[in-house]
Amino acid sequence: MNEKRDCGTFKETEITSIPGWNTELEEAFAVYKGPYVAGRVAAQHKTVFDIIIQNAMIQAAVSGAMRRIGKQPVVGDYIVLLDQAEINTYTIVDILPRKTCLARGSTGESSEEQVIAANIDTIFIVTAAGKDLNLRRLERYLTIVYASGARPVILLNKIDLTEDENNLAREIKEIADEVPVIPISALTKRGLEGLEPYISNDKTVALIGSSGVGKSTLINAFCGETIQKTLEVRKDDDKGKHTTTVRQLFILPNGGIFIDNPGIREIQLGDSSEGLDKTFSDIAEIAKNCRFKDCTHNDEPKCAVRKAVEKGVISQDRLDSYHKLVSELAFQSEKAELGLKRLEKKKYKGIAQTARKYREYTGK
């Protein structure tokens, strides 16, 4: 990428390569012969996607075949495009294998997960000093980030609004284990040098967090100019007003890649069971000493986890949070199982209807 280009503004004369493209992706794309080109999704709109391809930025829609099977790309995906040069059109026809995938559960009765972004190396979980700081919410974020396969880093933003940043960081560290906790002020750029090891050429960083915690301000700070709109902080809750409405990929001057996400109001866990033991590694480690291997840490005899709570090694709030997330994951699993049963029922109902029509037509 040309370092003189406007961060996040993709001009055809400035784009020289697909951000994050590597030999592994090249090998995966090599099976496509003919008028195909590779690209990376930079933004998603209602019916089309902004795609970065070699030397250009284009827009393309998903093919009918992909829509019929419910295959949908997300920001960060590397995709295969059919180049229909005769009509000056590109069509997305496939998605290359994802290295990592950030997803959350859907609300309501739906059992399908919502994929947020793909092919991420590091995820910055952004919280802010003040009323936004919530340890139980951070545990939820950590669970879905661990399940994604990406590396989590927690950013404690807006430290210019507090004189107690060290204690706040210490509180977060108690539930974050080995996850880096970095106090910053995106507005004044204080502490941003601590993020540089994670932001390097062709490495992708995604930002997640509640609305108004300063994700857009952070992008502007690294770009050196106003790329994402921000509004003033509200006095009642210390938050900036929500401005980001779409997920979007940005290229930083040093070649690093940011994916900005709208604020997440409700963090459904979905199929994040793999992330739970990592988020609650302290409980998982102590649980090895429980009398029963399948101990639920409720009222079983000789439960090492309950004993640790009594001794103050683990807080009751943390164990309550663990139980709540375990129950939620079990519920999501039940929803998924019911969804599969409904899908099978719908499938066989369709087969039966087809067979009946065939018998009526043939008289057999």
What are the extents of the domains in the chain? 23-95, 101-260, 273-339
C-alpha distances in Å from residue 2, one per residue of 89, 254, 313, 352? 26, 9, 52, 59
CB atoms within 10 A of CB 141: 24
Q: Which pair of structure tokens corresponds to residue 174? A: 């108690």
Q: At a CB cut-off of 8 Å and minimum separation 6, what does 229 contact?
A: 216, 243
Query: If pLDDT is split at 50, 70 and 90, which confidence band does 104 have?
Result: confident
* Residue of 360 and 119 predicted with greater confidence: 119
Sign of the four-CA dihedral 96, 97, 99, 102: positive
* Residue of 212 and 137 predicted with greater confidence: 137
- Considering the entire predicted model, what is its pTM? 0.81
Tokens 């998982």 belong to 284
Query: If pLDDT is split at 50, 70 and 90, which confidence band does 109 have?
Result: low
**Percentage of the chain with pLDDT > 90?**
57
Residue 86 is predicted with a pLDDT of 87
What integer is the mean pLDDT of 309-325? 94
Residue 358 is predicted with a pLDDT of 47
Residue 337 φ then ψ, to 5°: -65, -40
Whether residue 3 has pLDDT greater than 50? no
Residue 234 is predicted with a pLDDT of 45
Residue 1 is predicted with a pLDDT of 33
What integer is the mean pLDDT of 200-225? 88
Residue 245 is predicted with a pLDDT of 59
Whether residue 17 has pLDDT greater than 50? yes
Topology adopted by domain 101-260: Rossmann fold (3.40.50)
Q: What is the CATH number of domain 273-339?
A: 1.10.40.50
Tokens 């092919």 belong to 119
Whether residue 129 has pLDDT greater than 80? yes
Whether residue 363 has pLDDT greater than 80? no
Whether residue 101 has pLDDT greater than 50? yes
Q: What is the CATH number of domain 23-95?
A: 2.40.50.140
* Residue of 271 and 171 predicted with greater confidence: 171
Return d(Cα 308, Cα 240) in angstroms, integer: 40
In this predicted model, what pLDDT tens digit does every residue of 40-87 receive, in sequence order? 999 999 889 999 999 899 999 999 999 999 999 999 999 999 999 888
Residue 196 is predicted with a pLDDT of 92
Q: How confident is the prediction for the chain on average, in pLDDT? A: 83
Residue 305 φ then ψ, to 5°: -70, -45
CB atoms within 10 A of CB 159: 23
Q: At a CB cut-off of 8 Å and minimum separation 6, what does 191 contact?
A: 159, 182, 183, 184, 185
